[in-house]
Amino acid sequence: MKVIVHVDGGARGNPGPAAVAAVASTPDGDELAERKLYIGEATNNVAEYRALLLGLELARDLGAEEVEVINDSELIARQIGGEYKVKHAGLKPLFAEAMRELRGFHKWAVRPVRREENARADELVNEALDEALA
């Protein structure tokens, strides 16, 4: 089974209060599940990696054997794709964990999109931040 997972992470301030979200759907666009989580103080890039990990966990929980992760972080997509090196020490363990998790799927892809194409995941990040900071 293939699952498409839109993921997003964000921090208010960089670093600042941060949250992550994932929205899983079928390849036809039928939503399967969504998750959001406040993760405390983090940078935007750490939040984006944590969102990727949340999305992979969600896909695995749904029984996916194939996953396509869609995010609005070109940096993360290019690091995962091997086009950019991971230089920041704080991102290296998250990158390694993401690669381990991705290898657990028969087939996978990580693709960046414009923020507008990732609207629901972005909404969930803001909901999680608003709830945590209320």
Rounded to the nearest 10 degrees, how much is the dihedral formed by the CA atoms of 131, 112, 78, 98?
50
d(CA 89, CA 71): 22
Which CATH number is 20's domain given? 3.30.420.10
Q: What domain count does the chain have?
A: 1
pLDDT at 89: 95
3-class DSSP string for the chain: CEEEEEEEEEECCCCEEEEEEEEEECCCCCEEEEEEEEEEEECHHHHHHHHHHHHHHHHHHCCCCEEEEEECCHHHHHHHCCCCCCCCCCCHHHHHHHHHHHCCCCEEEEEECCHHHHHHHHHHHHHHHHHHHC
pLDDT at 70: 97
Give the domain range for residue 35: 2-133
pLDDT, tens digit, 9 for 90 and up, residues 70-128 = 999 999 999 999 999 999 999 999 999 999 999 999 999 999 999 999 999 999 999 99
d(CA 47, CA 74): 14
d(CA 77, CA 113): 10
- The answer to whether 59 and 27 have CB atoms below 8 angstroms apart is no
d(CA 111, CA 71): 6
Residue 10, token pair as written in the block? 């964000």
pLDDT at 5: 98
pLDDT, tens digit, 9 for 90 and up, residues 11-68 = 999 999 999 999 999 999 999 999 999 999 999 999 999 999 999 999 999 999 999 9
pLDDT at 66: 98
